[in-house]
Each structure stands twice: as structure tokens, then as C-alpha cells.
A and B are shown apart, each in its own frame.
Chain A
């Protein structure tokens, strides 16, 4: 299917009449000022499958969802859906600030396609989920924005569609809200609903959707297992940490480049389960006796989780020349952002001690437990303790 949008201002009736008249007398052809939001995109999603869509802003993700949901129609091609399709493109669509919480639950439910019976049946559960029992008969304009969001999401969470189409709703709200909504999404997938999920939160996306599509400039650039798609997607447009010029120069020592690589490719964004290498290129204009060098990693909260040094202690001699330090980090780090620091020095003096030369981000699943370090593939077992 394809979708074209005409660019530019909307027409007023007068302009429409004028341009129609011009077309009639062939003074002006139809406007070419248009953009293809989607171009020949073809895909199918199986019953009960959860599929993610990744892509940069403007790649056509939301348009694809809107067409699937029936909100807008394609310019060419056909989108076929079976069963009840619910689109969550926004939390709280149709909430009216003058109406009470109770009234809004019913209105919003109806807008999302629930029948009165369904809403009535889940009403208590919705209220409990939202935690606004006491304010049910208060107009939502007196609610805090967090309360409105919780109530709106509670309604959405009780939808029971056959096909659930979700766009970026996890981008709003606090961490607690995001965790809760993510949980509901996973639940929907487990319940056997067909889920189509668009998100920039790639960790959640790969947790929910085993398969993903990668849209770029309105076309499908990749399709396959989410992990692979996400890795390719991340690697596609990211500059390496390499800056080209010398990073640091102190006396005879010049640090040329610091970078993080996985699969021989430098990237600022990597997958958590990959072995990664931190490489430091440096040049010695003359031999520095007893040179130590170290590489360290610091988390975004300032915890130095790794500090590995090559100590010379006078044994090794590095004559004048170019060298590369390579630190291999097995996949033991949790998802998050890390700063790479380098240290060069002798026992007499520190030459370079820079804690954040470059940074990189690890993506992957935190298994729904953000903030916890989960190290996989390490020997771990449970044994009974005999008293």
C-alpha cells in the first residue's frame, strides 16, 4: 500500500475553485507538491502475532498504523484486517475535561470501540487499575495530569480487541506508568491478540514483539526477528565514536581514537548480548618508560563498573610508534549508557586521566526489571540447603 500527502497549506474554498478552474483551462496541472509517506509497503501479520515497527521519525510508521486502523485510507493498495481493530495512537483520546471521571470512562470506552456492556463489566476493574476511586464523580479538569493519564490508560488497558495497534503510548508518563502499560502490552500478546507496536523504545519493542519491520522513508528496509532488525536499524545511521582528529595530546603521547565496536563495526549503540571491544589507538613520539594504560567504563549514574589496566612496571618497552589497546568486554553489562574513560601514566605522573572520552548505549531487554543488573550466561543455579 502507499500513501501520499499533499504538502502545503490547506485550501480555502476560494482557492479550490480557482485551482479547479485553472485545471479546467489547463493553466496549471495538479500539484506536484506531495510526499509519499508510504511507498509500496507490503506485509502481513498472523493471527495472534506481535509485530513491531521501527524506523526514524517520518519513516511512515504512524501512517501505516492509521491505515491499518482505518483512520485514513491508502492512496493505493489495500489494507485488510479481520476482527475488531483497536488503535491506541494516543492515551485519553476523547476525554472531555468538563465530564466526570465516570462519564469519561464510558465515553472513552465507547470511542475506543467498547460496548456499554463491556465497559460496565470492566468498570470496577478499570477504576481499581487507575486508582482514582475517590474522584470518580469529579470533573477530570480537576484531576492532576497524572491521574487523567492513569484513568485514560486504565480504559485502554481493558480493551479486548482482536487486533491491537499501538503507537508510542509508552513515551508518556512516569516510569511506573510505562512499566504498567508495557506489562499490559505483553499480556495482550500472551492472550493471543494480534499486536502491532510502534515504538522508539527498542527494548520494550523487542520484549513484546518477536518479529519487526523496519521502515525507512516509506519503504520496508528490513523484516525479520526483532533483535536482528533492531541491531541493523541501530547500526545503520550511527556515527562511530571516531572523530578523526587526535583526541588528546600530552607530551610525547597522542591518543588518536577511542571507540567501541561489535562485530568489527564501531557504533555508539550496541546490543547488550554482544561481545564488545573497546579500542584505544595511540601514538608515542618517543618511548615512555614504565607507561601504564587503562580503560574504564562508567555508568550514567557515575559508577565505575570496569577498570582494566595494562601495567608495565618497567618490564615492557614500547618504542616510538603507533599502538592499539584492545579490551574485550564479554556481554556482562546491563542495558544503559556507559562512558569510556582512558588513563595513561607512569608511576611518576598521570599523563591522561579522562573519564568520558566517548560514550555508548547498550540496548536489550531488562526483562521488565529496569535498574537491575542482569547478567546472562553466567553459571547460576539453585541448590537445596541441607540444614
Chain B
């Protein structure tokens, strides 16, 4: 024990290491508990944390993530601050990107190919798709690299590893907010108001974030071990973009075709977004498939991440 003259408000603690089977277990903490309980009454002791082959044990991983919320905030703030440093247009870039894509889509899909847009003016229709897609893809791109770019942190400091990909959700959210203002302006211009479904707007945000983090967890953890991922992300996203109803409407598909198409989790996200923001028809049953796919990716991503994170510091 530390000398009794330093009777500061120190929780009982210590650390110990033991062998797998039949090894000695030190009970170094006994005194501390006694001192504490006699001096402080019913102050809760810090919990033992176990680091075993199964990883760093935490009672409730969600609580660890919650405790790391400030760190997540600082990670996000760092990326935000760094992003537009030394640029002339700064935050304007947030608007320029979707507007440019929508302009191209309008020209190609609407003018040249004559794609239907469910009764909504095509630029607005594509803009909602593009805004959704931009958020999703920027989260996935930044999350897939986040553990590798923060490799020095991973090998030198302990923090809940999930904090890093979780933090990648936030900076694109700022872009999303700015873009949504643009959507509102364009919708006003076309006199489009969804009415009641607008109340489901937060629900859409949750679905979007859930889908993005699920994919982000997979990619971030995979990229630590297999750097191939960083090269695969861009072409994969490109394919994914055209496999999602961003620039066109999925209403042309029906029956089994539509159900198969709905396996893409982005289908549900974009359809719900258009429903909530523009008042397009409720997507119906295929949505269940899409949301399930999204949930499956999230759950499996969480599982994979938690298993993979044990070796992050060794392989990154």
C-alpha cells in the first residue's frame, strides 16, 4: 500500500497478471478496499478490467463507447478542422459536390435517358438521393482508413477502438446538414412539401447512420489486416452507387425483382429519405428486406470488429 500519510481520495486499485491455468492470483487489492470502505463508506470501487486472449473485457461495451464520447467528439472535431484548412472555398465545397453530381445526373439520366422520377422534379429527386449517398460513401471512405491512419494511436494508447470508426460518422454529418438546407431550398423552389411523412425525418437519419456504421465497421476492421480494402473501396462504392436508386427510381421494378433489389440496404435508406423529404410513395414490403439487410450488416460488423480489435495493435 502507499504510505498512509498520503491518504488522498484514491480508489482502491492495482493490477495483477496471472497464468492461464492454476497460476497464482495475487490479491493485492484487499487492503485498498478496506481502507476505502472504512474511510468513505459506500463509494463504488472501480471495476477490475480483464485483458485476456478474448480481448479487453468490458462489462458493457456500449458504456465504454459512451464514456469515450468526448474522445469521439475530439476525433471528429480534428477531422473537421483539418478538412477545409488551407482551402479557398472552405465549407462551400460541401454544396459544390452534390450540386455538380446532380447537374450531371440531370443531364444524363433526365434529359438524355428520360428516367422517371416519381412525379418529383428530377433535380430535386436526384439531389435527395445524392445527399444520402454522399453521406454514406464519405463515412465508409473515411472509416475504412481511420484505424490505419491512426495506427500510431492504436499501438500506443488504449481507447475503445470502436470510437474511431464511430467518429467518422460525424464530420460527414455536418456536410449532410448543409446539404439538407440545400434540399429544403430546392424543394421550396419547386413547391414540394411532403406533409406528414416529414415527421419521420429523424427515423431516416437513424436508418442512414445505422447503415453507414455497419459497413464502416466491416471496412475499418478489415483494412487493418488486409490493406487491399483501401483499394477496393473506391470501385466498390462506384458499383454500389449505380446499384442504388440514387439517380433513378426503383419504381420500375416489381415483384421478385424489386425484392431482390431491396437487399441493397441503401435502397431502404434512399426510399425512406424520399418518402420523408419529398413525399414519394411509401416503399412498402421491400423496405423490410432492406432494413433487415442493414441490421444484419450492423450486427455482423459489430461482431467482426470486436473479434478483430484484439489484434489491431499487433498488425496495424
Is A bound to B?
yes
Binding site for B on A (CB under 8 A): 1-2, 5, 10-14, 16, 40-49, 64, 66-85, 87, 89-90, 93-94, 96, 98-99, 103, 106-107, 110-113, 115-116, 162-163, 190-194, 196
Stretch at the interface among B14-22, B123-131, B179-187: B14-22
Contact pick for B158, options A2, A5, A71, A99, CB 8 Å: A71
Most interface-central of B78, B154, B157, B311 (chain A CB within 10 A): B157
Cα distance, A40 to B23, chains bound together (Å): 9
A94 touches B6 (CB 8 A): no
Which residues of B in the span 1-16 have a Cβ within 8 Å of any Cβ on A? 1-3, 6, 8, 10-16
> How close is A53's CB to chain B, nearest CB, in angstroms?
12
The 0/1 profile, CB within 8 Å of A marked 1, for residues 138-161 of chain B is: 000000000000101111111100
Contact A93 B18 (CB under 8 A): no
| Chain B residues within 8 Å of A82, by CB | 11-15, 29, 45-49
| A90 to B311 alpha-carbon distance, docked (Å) | 20
Interface size class of B (residues with CB under 8 A): 35 or more
* CB-defined contacts of A48 to chain B, threshold 8 Å: 1-3, 6, 10, 14, 32
Main DSSP-derived SS at the B contact region = mixed
Q: What is the CA–CA distance of A82 and B16 in the complex, to the nearest angstrom? A: 9
**Residue from A1, A80, A103, A196 with most neighbouring chain B CB atoms (10 Å):** A80
Name the residue among A96, A116, A192 with the largest chain B CB count within 10 angstroms. A192
Q: Is the CB of A71 within 8 A of B157?
A: yes
| Further contacts, 14 of them, CB under 8 A, given A82-B46, A82-B47, A110-B70 | A1-B20, A45-B14, A48-B6, A49-B1, A69-B158, A71-B156, A72-B314, A73-B310, A75-B53, A77-B17, A85-B158, A103-B81, A106-B74, A110-B73
B8/A192 in contact, CB under 8 A: yes
Nearest CB in chain B to that of A91: its residue: B156
Counting from the closest, the 10 A-B pairs by CB-CB distance are A48-B2, A44-B26, A83-B13, A192-B2, A44-B16, A70-B158, A81-B15, A47-B32, A13-B226, A72-B313
B135 CB to closest chain A CB (Å) equals 24
B10 / chain A contacts, CB cutoff of 8 Å: 47-48, 162, 191-193
Given A80-B50, A82-B45, A162-B46, does the pair A42, B158 have CB atoms closer than 8 Å? no
Give bound CA distance, A79 to B53, whole Å.
10
B300 CB within 8 Å of chain A: no
Query: How far is B154's CA from A192's CA once the two chains are assembled, in angstroms?
Result: 28
Give A79 to B81 CA distance when docked, in angstroms. Answer: 38
What are 26 A-B contacts defined by CB distance under 8 Å? Answer: A1-B17, A10-B225, A12-B228, A46-B28, A47-B10, A70-B49, A70-B51, A71-B157, A72-B310, A73-B311, A77-B18, A77-B19, A78-B17, A80-B48, A80-B50, A81-B48, A82-B12, A82-B15, A82-B49, A83-B11, A87-B157, A93-B152, A110-B73, A162-B13, A163-B13, A163-B14
Across the interface, do A191 and B8 meet the contact criterion of CB distance under 8 Å?
yes
Please report the C-alpha to C-alpha distance between residue A48 and residue B14 in the assembled complex, in whole angstroms: 7
Contact B74 A107 (CB under 8 A): yes
Q: Which B-chain residue is minimally distant from A139 (CB atoms)?
A: B85
Closest to B7 in A: A192
Option from B14, B47, B54, B70 in Cβ contact (under 8 Å) with A194: B14
Which residue in chain B gives the minimum CB-CB distance to A78? B52
Q: How far is the CB of A19 from chain B (nearest CB, A)?
A: 13
Query: Quick check: B156 and A73 within 8 Å, CB to CB?
Result: no
Q: Are A47 and B12 in contact (CB under 8 A)?
A: yes
Chain A CB within 8 A of B258 CB = no
Question: Among B15, B19, B153, which residue has its beta carbon within 8 angstroms of that of A80?
Answer: B15
Q: Nearest B residue to A5 by beta-carbon distance?
A: B314
